[in-house]
Amino acid sequence: MVNLHHTQNRMSHCSVRLSTLVCREGLAGSEDAVIRQTGRFDVISLRLVTRAVYRNHYDKINHSDHEMPAKKWDKKNNVASGKRVNQEVKPASRVAVVTGGAMGIGAEVVERLARIGHHVVIADRDEAASAAMVARLQSQQLSVMAIPIDVSDSVQIATAFGVISNTLGRCDILVNCAGVAKVFPFVDFPLEEFERTMNINVTGTLLCSQHAARQMMHHQWGRIINIASVAGMRAVGTGRTAYGTSKGAVIALTRQMAVELAEYGITANAVAPGPVDTPMTQLLHTAQFRTEYSKAIPMNRYGTVSEIGAAVQFLASDDAAYITGIAMPVDGGFLSSGARGL
């Protein structure tokens, strides 16, 4: 059993030996190799291994333009023949990847999953915010690490999931939370903004889920949770041409994944939050918009990151084993509501 909690001294001693190991073994610096060489495996070691392996991978990609090949899933050998691998994944050793985990809703999800014992990877393009999260949570002995990633870049996604596979050996839970929103009137919506939003919110979700699902299939267990929005189910005021369309697509994508991944023990669900106070909405929502939006919600208020995180945590758990393909609104009743003043 891997012990994740060692003293700081033992960690730094281990780190030196690990750096040597990584340089010597390159991408073969897997969890097993680390334990073999050092007799232990912990978050700081992991961070060092990951940083070195990531650099190695990234250099290769930058120099050769070569995308890492995905592992092939042999459905015939592993499912049809009944040779299922490791169906009993112990909750305490699960690896969770949270895109957009450096702030807002994603940061809450990271903290919740880490507090219940998962090893959590923050996959975010904001390196400074990710590093601050890692430092804060590691100081509380939680198992978190950061891998910088821009989910609009297919090469960076392949690299990051390659690193996760090589260092942690698995990805059991994926939360696709990275997302952006910009508002423009429909008739003037700039094409480049539409494409950028779709790339991050939809294509990023698709690609991360493909990479994660390939790893989950090996273990016949997985949870994919996509953060959609009520704007994917209903027009929320004006200006959300790209955002609303992207979140509608995320919900459709979730259903498709659910159907195709169910036989591998993988569920795929979406959470559709109503408005929540985060760095995103602090920029996007004017005071007048806030007042009007709150009035349209039966509970008369914005949600909290904790209320969204709780739904994600549930869908990521064993208790949600028979739920797949849904889009769960967490919206204070907004979607149920019509003309409230009547």
Ligand X SMILES: NC(=O)c1ccc[n+]([C@@H]2O[C@H](COP(=O)([O-])OP(=O)(O)OC[C@H]3O[C@@H](n4cnc5c(N)ncnc54)[C@H](O)[C@@H]3O)[C@@H](O)[C@H]2O)c1
Give contact residues for ligand X (rule: CB under 6 A). Answer: 99-100, 102-106, 124-126, 129, 149-152, 177-181, 200, 227, 229, 273, 275-276, 278-281
Instruction: Judge whether 54 counts as a catalytic residue.
Output: no
By beta-carbon proximity to ligand X, the closer residue of 8 and 336 is 336
Which has the closest alpha carbon to 91: 111, 118, 64?
Answer: 118
Instruction: Give the pairing of strands 144-148 and 119-124.
Output: parallel
Q: 154-167 and 204-219 helices cross at what angle (nearest 10)?
A: 20
Whole-number minimum distance, CB 277 to ligand X, in Å?
A: 7
By beta-carbon proximity to ligand X, the closer residue of 39 and 279 is 279
By beta-carbon proximity to ligand X, the closer residue of 103 and 164 is 103
By beta-carbon proximity to ligand X, the closer residue of 91 and 298 is 298
By beta-carbon proximity to ligand X, the closer residue of 215 and 226 is 226
* Backbone phi and psi for residue 269, each to the nearest 5 degrees, phi listed first: -135, 160
CA atoms within 13 A on the CB side of 118: 25
Cα distance between residue 288 and residue 230, in whole Å: 19
Hey, how many other C-beta atoms are within 10 angstroms of the C-beta on 259? 12
By beta-carbon proximity to ligand X, the closer residue of 18 and 105 is 105
Whole-number minimum distance, CB 107 to ligand X, in Å?
A: 7
Cα distance between residue 263 and residue 79, in whole Å: 9
Whole-number minimum distance, CB 239 to ligand X, in Å?
A: 14
Cα distance between residue 167 and residue 101, in whole Å: 19
Using a 10 angstrom Cβ sphere, with 0-12 exposed, 13-18 middle and 19 or more buried, the burial of residue 138 is middle
User: In the chain, at which residue ranges do the beta strands (DSSP E only) sit?
Assistant: 95-99, 119-124, 144-148, 173-176, 222-227, 266-273, 327-330
Out of 54, 243, 264, 302, the active site residue is 243
Whole-number minimum distance, CB 79 to ligand X, in Å?
A: 32
Whole-number minimum distance, CB 7 to ligand X, in Å?
A: 31
Angle ∠(309,314,320) on CA atoms, nearest 5: 155
Whole-number minimum distance, CB 259 to ligand X, in Å?
A: 23
Q: What is the DSSP letter of 200?
A: I
* Residues, the chain: 342
Which residues form the catalytic set?
243
